[in-house]
Structure 1
Amino acid sequence: MEQSRFGAELSSRSLRLNGLIETCIAMSMCRDRAALLQQLLSEGRHLLNCDGGTMYMVTEEQTLRFELRTRSDPLPATQIPLYDPGTGNPNENYVSVYTALHNQAVRIDDVYAETRFDLSGTRAFDDASGYRTVSMLTVPIAPRGGSPIGVLQFMNALDPFTGAIVPFDPEAGALVEALAAQAAVALDNMELVDSQKQLTESLIRVLATTIDAKSPHTGRHCERVPELAMRLAQAACDASDGPLKHFAFRSEREWEEFRIGAWLHDCGKVTTPEYVIDKATKLETIHNRIHEVRMRFEVLHRDLEIARLQAQVAGTWSDAQQAAHAAELARLKQDFEFVARCNVGDEALEDDAIEALAGIGARQWTRHFDDRLGLSAVELAARAAERAPALPCTEPLLADRPRDIVARPEGERLDPAFGFRMDVPEHLYNRGELYNLSVRNGTLTREERYKINEHMVHTVMMLERMPFPKHLKRVPEYAGTHHERMDGKGYPRQLGPEQLSVPSRIMAVADIFEALTAADRPYKKPKPLSEALTIMQRMAGTHIDADIYNLFLRSGVYLAYAHKHLDTEQIDVSDPTPFCATAPHA
C-alpha cells in the first residue's frame, strides 16, 4: 500500500513538472493578456490540487484590484490599498497586501486559527456563502528580481486520495511560484510589445497629422483616407459572395499591417514643398506673382497718362489722339484681365489663348531701377549668365528667362534599384511667366506635377528601407501603390492588375473618393456625391478596380463616410445603383 502511494506521488510529481513546463512554454507564446491570466490561475489551481483561487493585480494607484476567480461569482468592485490612506503605513495586516509588498509567499494552514493577518473578509465570505475556508496559499506574481505586479491566492488544498482539505504542499507551492514568475515575465514582455506598438502607431499618426498640418489645403487627408480604407476593407472581409468572398484579414496583425500602411500612404509628402502643394494660381510660388505683372501694366498705364499730359501741355493733343488714348487704356485693361483669368487656371486654355498670352507678353515696358539690388547670393548666382542692361531699359511684360530655370540636382535622379517607371522632367522647376501662364489645365507645370507625384517615390524609398518586422512587411506595398492603375498606367512603377493586391486596390478607391469630395483643396470646390461617383464610375476598370468600387457603393461605405465628413449639400445620392460599374474588371 505504501509502495503504491509512493508510486502515485512520484507519477503526480512528474505530471506536475511536465505540466509546468508545457504551461510555461504556452504562456511565453501567448499574446492575449486575458487568456494568459486565466491560464495562470487555472494551472496554479491544478498544480496545487485545490478548491479555488483568486487573482489580484497591482494598480497604478497602489491598490490590489480583484482580477479573476476560479468560481463564477462576481468580482468585488472594492480595491485593497497597499498603504493606509491616513498614515501612509503598509497595510500588512492583509495577507494579499503583505505578499505584494514583500514579494513573499505566505502559507496558512488554518484560516480560523491565523493571528498574523486580518482574515475577517474571508470569514465573512464563508458566513455569507456557507463555504468553509481552511488552508490558504498566497503567491506573488513577480519576475525574478522584480517587484510584484499581482498576487495569486488559493484556498483549500485537497488530498488527491481522500479529497480532504489539507495544508498546501510546499513543493507544489514552489512550482506555482515558478509558474507565477514565468507568467510575470510573459506579461512584462507583452506589455513591452504593446507599449512599443502603441508608440509606433502614435509616431505614425504624428507623422500623418504633421503632413496634414503642413498644408491647410490637404486638410485631414492623411487621417480620413485610413478611416475610409478601414471601412472598405471591413466590407470586403464581410463579403460572403462575389469576387471578394475569399478575401479576409485573418488576424489582428494583418489588420495592423493594413492600418499602418494606410496611415503612411502619403508619408513622402513630407518632402513636397508647401508652395507646390498649395499652388492655387499659375504664377504662385511663395507668393502670387500676378502682383508683379499688374505693376508692369500699371507702369504702362502711367506712361500713357504722362504722354497725354505732356502733349496737352505742349498743345499738340488732338481729338484723334484722345480716342486712340482711350482705346489703348481699354486694351491695356482688357489684356491684364485676360492674363489674370489665365492665372486662375479654372478654365482649359486652347491654342488661341496661348498665342494671345505670347502677344501680350511681347509688349515692352521701361525699367529704370537696377533689378539686382537687394537679391540673395543664390538669386544673383542664377543671373550670372545674364548681361545687365544699361538703364533705363525696356523689357517684355511677360517673359521666360534663363534664371527661371532651376536645374535638377544629380542626386534627385530616380534610383533604378526601386523599379520606378516615371517620366522625369529635365528641370527641377521652370518658373517662367509665360511658361506657367500657358499651362493648359489647372495651375501646375509639368515639373510641379512631377514634384507632387514624386511623393510616392519618397514614400516607397522611405518605407522599403525601413526594417519592418515580419508581420509588417507589406506596409510599403499598401502605402506605396494607391496611385497605380488597373491598366498599368499609374505611378510610380506602372504596376498591372496582377501585381496589385486587394488591399492596394482598396487604398486607391479610398484615396480618390476622399480627394474628390474634400472641401479643403486650393484648386477646386468639393464635389457632391453624384459628381464624384460619376467620375469614379468612368474610372472603374481602367483606373480603379470595378469590384472594389461596386462594393464601396453596395455596402454603403460611401454613404456612412459622407454623413460623417461631407457637407449636407454634397450628399445627393441615396441609391448608388445608377453609379455602379457595369463591366467589372475580370
Structure 2
Amino acid sequence: MKIGLSKFLELKTKPMQSFSETEHNRLQEEIKLLSHNLKELNQIGVALSSEHDHDKLLEMILQKSREIASSDAGSLYLAEESEEGGKVLRFKLAQNDSIQAEAFKEFTVPIDRKSLAGFVAETGEILTLDDAYQIPNGKEYSFNSNFDERFGYRTKSLLVLPMQNNLSEIIGVLQLINRKKSKKTKLTPDSVEENVVPFDQKSIELVSSLASQAAVCIENNLLCKNIERLFEGFVTASVTAIEQRDPTTSGHSARVSIMTVGMAELVDRADRGKFRDIKFTREQIKEIRYAAVLHDFGKVGVRENVLVKAKKLYPFEMELIRSRFDFIKKSIENEFLSKKLEYLQFHQGESCKEVFEQIDFELAENLKEAELCFQSIRQANEPTIIPEGRFDEVLEIARKTYRDMEGAVSPYLFSNEIKNLLTRKGSLNEQERLEIESHVTHTFNFLSKIPWTKTLKNVPSIAYAHHEKLNGEGYPLRLTSPSIPIQSKMMTVSDIFDALTAFDRPYKKAADFERALDILKLEAKDNHLDGALVEMFIEGKIYNLMREYKG
C-alpha cells in the first residue's frame, strides 16, 4: 500500500486500532518515510532560497531533484523570450553520474509538442515514460536519441515535469533520466535493464513539490539579477554622464575599478606578509568595484570650466594677454616711430641714417623683449606634475608696465593672472583646487543617499577616503593610515597611476609606465601611499590590466 503526501495528516490522526498489526507496521514505516521526505524537502527549500548565484542555484535544483528520485541523469531547461518573439526553452545544464561527457553548450528548442521538454512546457502536463524507446503510438512527442548514440548511453525511464511559479506560469522544465534501484550504481548500456526502474508516484510527487519550490527560487533569483542589472546600468549611465562633462577623463573610472579589483584579488590570495589575514568575499569585491567605479561621481557638483581646466589660465584669459601684448608691441612701434618723426622735425636737412639705424636697433630689442615676456608667460601657463616653473620670470614680468589706450599706466600682468601663473603644481589655483577637492564630499553625500544592501553598505566610505594620505596630509578628512580602509588605499594607488599615465589629459603629458611606477614609489616613501600595496601593484603587474583595458 503506497500513500501520498496528501494522506499524511490523515494517517497521523487516524486511530491505530482500526488497522491490523501488519498494516499498522507498514503504515508506521510509510509515515516515517514521509516525515523524512518532508524534512528533506524543507531542507532543500531552505538551501535553494539561500543560494544567490544563479548558475549554482540551477545546479542545485537539478542535483537535489535527481537525489530524491534516485535519478542517474537529468537536464534543466528555462523558458525565455526569443529574438523573433514568443518563448523558447533554453537548455541550461545536464548532469550524469554514469558517463563523463564534455561540457554541454546551451541551445534553444521550440515550445511545441514535438519534443518531450517542449510538450511539457506547452501543456503543463507531467510525462512519465517507462522506456523512452517505446513511446505509445499516437503521441505527438518523440524522444531524441542523439545523446545516447553519441556517448553510448541508454536512456530508459524518464520523468519530465514543468516548473511553475505561483501564477501557474511555466518558467522551465526538469527532465530526469533513469531512476535506479540503487543510487550508487553506475549504469552501462548492458546493466540498464537490470538496474533501472520506472519513476513511481512517490518520486513524481516529491520532485513535483521540489519543482514548484525551484520555480519560485529561480524567479526570485532572476528578479534579483534583473534588479542588479538595472542598478549596473544606472551606475554605467551615471559614470558616462560625468565623463561626458569632462571627456578628457573618459574611461578613468573603469580603469581604476579594474586595477583596484585586481589588487583586492591579490591581497585576498596573499599567504604571507601584512595582508595574509585579509580576505574579501565575493560581495566585498563587488563593493570595492562599485566604490571604484563611482569614486568621482561627485564631480557633478564641480563647475565645468574648473573641471576641464587644461592650463593655469583659462583660454579667454590667455587671449586677453595675447591682445595686451599685441597692443604693447604696437605701442613700442609707435613710440620709436615718434622718435624718428621728432628727429626729423628738429634736424631738417641733416643725415638721419645712423640715428634711424640706432632707433631701429632699439625698437627691435624692445619688441624682442616684449615677445620674450609673452613666450615666458605661455611657458609659465603650462602645468607641471611636480612643483616647478618660471616663477621668477613671471614676477619680473609682472613689475613691467605700459600705457594703455587712455594713457594710464598698466601692468603687464594683473594680480589674478599672476596668482594663476604662480601655481606651483598642476593647472588649478588654490580656490579651484579646493573646488575640485570638494568632489569627494559630493561623492560621499550622493552615495550616502543610495539605500545600499547590507553587503554594500561601505561603498560611500570607501569612495570617501580615496584621496586621503597615510600621513594625514590628504583630503577631505585628513585621515591617517589606521583610519583609512584598505579598500580605499588600494583605490588610491590605482587612481594615481591612471592619472599619471592617462594620455587624454590636456593639462599634462602622460608619464610612461616606468616613470609612473617610480612616482608611486616616491609617494610611498613620503608616507602618502601604502608601500606594501605599491609593491604588490608593481610585482603583481596590476598595471597590465589597464594595458589590456586600453587595448
Q: Which amino acid in the other structure matches residue 168 of structure 1?
A: D
Q: Look up the match of 1:142.
A: 164
Match of 2:373 among 335, 339, 344: 335
Q: Look up the match of 1:344.
A: 382
> Aligned pair in 2 of structure 1 residues 159, 238: CA closer, same or farther (>3 Å)?
closer
The answer to whether the Cα contact below 8 Å between 2:256 and 2:495 also exists between their aligned partners in 1 is yes
Q: Secondary structure at the match of 1:269?
A: helix
Q: Give, in angstroms, the shift of residue 3 of structure 1.
A: 3.2
> Aligned pair in 2 of structure 1 residues 299, 242: CA closer, same or farther (>3 Å)?
same
Q: Give, in angstroms, the shift of residue 276 of structure 1.
A: 2.0
The answer to whether the Cα contact below 8 Å between 2:52 and 2:221 also exists between their aligned partners in 1 is yes
The answer to whether the Cα contact below 8 Å between 2:465 and 2:488 also exists between their aligned partners in 1 is yes
Q: Which amino acid in the other structure matches residue 449 of structure 1?
A: R
Match of 1:296 among 309, 324, 327: 324
CA offset digits 1:389-438 (Å, max 9, x no partner): xxx977554334xxxxxxxxxxxxxxxxxxxxxxxxxxxxxxx3333234
CA offset digits 1:493-536 (Å, max 9, x no partner): 11111112222211111112222222222232222344333332
Q: Secondary structure at the match of 1:117?
A: coil
What is the rounded CA distance, in whole Å, between the counterparts of 2:68 and 2:128 in structure 1?
Answer: 15
The answer to whether the Cα contact below 8 Å between 2:340 and 2:359 also exists between their aligned partners in 1 is no
Q: Which amino acid in the other structure matches residue 98 of structure 1?
A: F
Q: Look up the match of 1:97.
A: 118
> Aligned pair in 2 of structure 1 residues 366, 166: CA closer, same or farther (>3 Å)?
closer
Q: Are 1:545 and 2:495 counterparts?
A: no
Q: Secondary structure at the match of 1:344?
A: coil
Q: Look up the match of 1:356.
A: 396
Following superposition of structure 1 onto structure 2, how do residues 257-268 of structure 1 map, counting pairs within 5 Å? 257-268=287-298
Q: Secondary structure at the match of 2:404?
A: strand
What is the rounded CA distance, in whole Å, between the counterparts of 1:442 and 1:225 in structure 2?
Answer: 21
Range that drifts further, 345-354 or 119-128: 119-128
Q: Which amino acid in the other structure matches residue 221 of structure 1?
A: H
Q: Secondary structure at the match of 2:405?
A: strand
| Structure 2: runs of 5 or more not aligned | 1-21, 83-87, 183-193, 347-351
Q: Secondary structure at the match of 2:77?
A: strand
Q: Give, in angstroms, the shift of residue 310 of structure 1.
A: 5.9
Match of 2:223 among 186, 189, 192: 192
> Aligned pair in 2 of structure 1 residues 323, 565: CA closer, same or farther (>3 Å)?
same
Aligned residues: 497
Range that drifts further, 457-466 or 67-76: 67-76
Range that drifts further, 315-324 or 172-181: 315-324
Q: Which amino acid in the other structure matches residue 36 of structure 1?
A: L
Identity %: 27
What is the rounded CA distance, in whole Å, between the counterparts of 1:482 and 1:177 in structure 2?
Answer: 52
Q: Secondary structure at the match of 1:556?
A: coil
Match of 2:94 among 68, 77, 80: 68
Q: Are 1:16 and 2:37 counterparts?
A: yes
Q: Are 1:168 and 2:195 counterparts?
A: no
Q: Which amino acid in the other structure matches residue 227 of structure 1?
A: I
What is the rounded CA distance, in whole Å, between the counterparts of 1:547 and 1:299 in structure 2?
Answer: 57
Q: Normalising by structure 2, report the TM-score.
A: 0.79
Q: Give, in angstroms, the shift of residue 76 of structure 1.
A: 7.6
Q: Give, in angstroms, the shift of residue 106 of structure 1.
A: 3.4
The answer to whether the Cα contact below 8 Å between 2:77 and 2:89 also exists between their aligned partners in 1 is no
> Aligned pair in 2 of structure 1 residues 328, 101: CA closer, same or farther (>3 Å)?
same
Match of 2:540 among 555, 558, 563: 555
Q: Secondary structure at the match of 2:508?
A: coil
Match of 1:461 among 433, 441, 445: 445
The answer to whether the Cα contact below 8 Å between 2:467 and 2:474 also exists between their aligned partners in 1 is yes
What is the rounded CA distance, in whole Å, between the counterparts of 1:554 and 1:167 in structure 2?
Answer: 58
What is the rounded CA distance, in whole Å, between the counterparts of 2:79 and 2:200 in structure 1?
Answer: 24
> Aligned pair in 2 of structure 1 residues 104, 519: CA closer, same or farther (>3 Å)?
same
What is the rounded CA distance, in whole Å, between the counterparts of 2:155 and 2:323 in structure 1?
Answer: 98
Q: Give, in angstroms, the shift of residue 492 of structure 1.
A: 0.8
The answer to whether the Cα contact below 8 Å between 1:94 and 1:117 also exists between their aligned partners in 2 is no
Q: Give, in angstroms, the shift of residue 186 of structure 1.
A: 0.6
> Aligned pair in 2 of structure 1 residues 163, 12: CA closer, same or farther (>3 Å)?
farther
Q: Look up the match of 2:274.
A: 243
Q: Look up the match of 1:316.
A: 345
The answer to whether the Cα contact below 8 Å between 2:77 and 2:91 also exists between their aligned partners in 1 is yes
Q: Look up the match of 1:444.
A: 428
> Aligned pair in 2 of structure 1 residues 311, 268: CA closer, same or farther (>3 Å)?
same
Q: Which amino acid in the other structure matches residue 527 of structure 1?
A: A
Q: Give, in angstroms, the shift of residue 263 of structure 1.
A: 0.9
Range that drifts further, 326-335 or 17-26: 326-335
Q: Secondary structure at the match of 2:58?
A: helix
What is the rounded CA distance, in whole Å, between the counterparts of 1:115 and 1:165 in structure 2?
Answer: 22
Q: Secondary structure at the match of 1:150?
A: strand
Q: Which amino acid in the other structure matches residue 68 of structure 1?
A: A
Match of 2:488 among 478, 491, 504: 504
Q: Normalising by structure 1, report the TM-score.
A: 0.74
Q: Look up the match of 1:371.
A: none
What is the rounded CA distance, in whole Å, between the counterparts of 1:14 and 1:243 in structure 2?
Answer: 52
Q: Which amino acid in the other structure matches residue 506 of structure 2?
A: P
Following superposition of structure 1 onto structure 2, how do residues 2-151 of structure 1 map, counting pairs within 5 Å? 2-48=23-69, 53-61=74-82, 62-63=88-89, 65=91, 67-73=93-99, 74=101, 81-82=109-110, 91-108=112-129, 112=134, 114-117=136-139, 120-121=142-143, 131=154, 133=156, 136-151=158-173
Superposition RMSD on alpha carbons, in Å? 3.5
Q: Look up the match of 1:534.
A: 518
Q: Are 1:203 and 2:237 counterparts?
A: no
Q: Look up the match of 1:404.
A: none
The answer to whether the Cα contact below 8 Å between 2:397 and 2:412 also exists between their aligned partners in 1 is no
Q: Look up the match of 1:275.
A: 305
Q: Give, in angstroms, the shift of residue 190 of structure 1.
A: 0.9
What is the rounded CA distance, in whole Å, between the counterparts of 2:106 and 2:515 in structure 1?
Answer: 58
Q: Secondary structure at the match of 2:31?
A: helix
Q: Which amino acid in the other structure matches residue 133 of structure 1?
A: K
The answer to whether the Cα contact below 8 Å between 2:162 and 2:170 also exists between their aligned partners in 1 is yes
Q: Give, in angstroms, the shift of residue 233 of structure 1.
A: 1.9
Q: Look up the match of 1:516.
A: 500
Q: Give, in angstroms, the shift of residue 101 of structure 1.
A: 0.6
Q: Are 1:398 and 2:413 counterparts?
A: yes
The answer to whether the Cα contact below 8 Å between 2:322 and 2:374 also exists between their aligned partners in 1 is yes
Q: Give, in angstroms, the shift of residue 185 of structure 1.
A: 1.0
CA offset digits 1:231-269 (Å, max 9, x no partner): 2222222222111111221x2111111111111121112
Q: Give, in angstroms, the shift of residue 339 of structure 1.
A: 3.2
Q: Give, in angstroms, the shift of residue 340 of structure 1.
A: 3.1
The answer to whether the Cα contact below 8 Å between 1:365 and 1:396 also exists between their aligned partners in 2 is no
What is the rounded CA distance, in whole Å, between the counterparts of 2:231 and 2:282 in structure 1?
Answer: 16
| Structure 1: runs of 5 or more not aligned | 84-90, 368-391, 401-431, 568-586
CA offset digits 1:309-358 (Å, max 9, x no partner): 56656742773766655554444334333333333355845774354233
CA offset digits 1:274-319 (Å, max 9, x no partner): 43233233221xx342222222232233344445556656742773
What is the rounded CA distance, in whole Å, between the counterparts of 1:9 and 1:565 in structure 2?
Answer: 62
Range that drifts further, 67-76 or 535-544: 67-76
Q: Look up the match of 2:257.
A: 226
What is the rounded CA distance, in whole Å, between the counterparts of 1:353 and 1:16 in structure 2?
Answer: 89
The answer to whether the Cα contact below 8 Å between 1:56 and 1:152 also exists between their aligned partners in 2 is yes
Q: Look up the match of 2:208.
A: 177
What is the rounded CA distance, in whole Å, between the counterparts of 1:51 and 1:335 in structure 2?
Answer: 88
What is the rounded CA distance, in whole Å, between the counterparts of 1:131 and 1:437 in structure 2?
Answer: 84
The answer to whether the Cα contact below 8 Å between 1:261 and 1:475 also exists between their aligned partners in 2 is yes
Range that drifts further, 106-115 or 2-11: 106-115
Range that drifts further, 533-542 or 478-487: 533-542
What is the rounded CA distance, in whole Å, between the counterparts of 2:41 and 2:521 in structure 1?
Answer: 61
Q: Secondary structure at the match of 1:180?
A: helix
Q: Which amino acid in the other structure matches residue 358 of structure 1?
A: A
The answer to whether the Cα contact below 8 Å between 1:42 and 1:70 also exists between their aligned partners in 2 is no
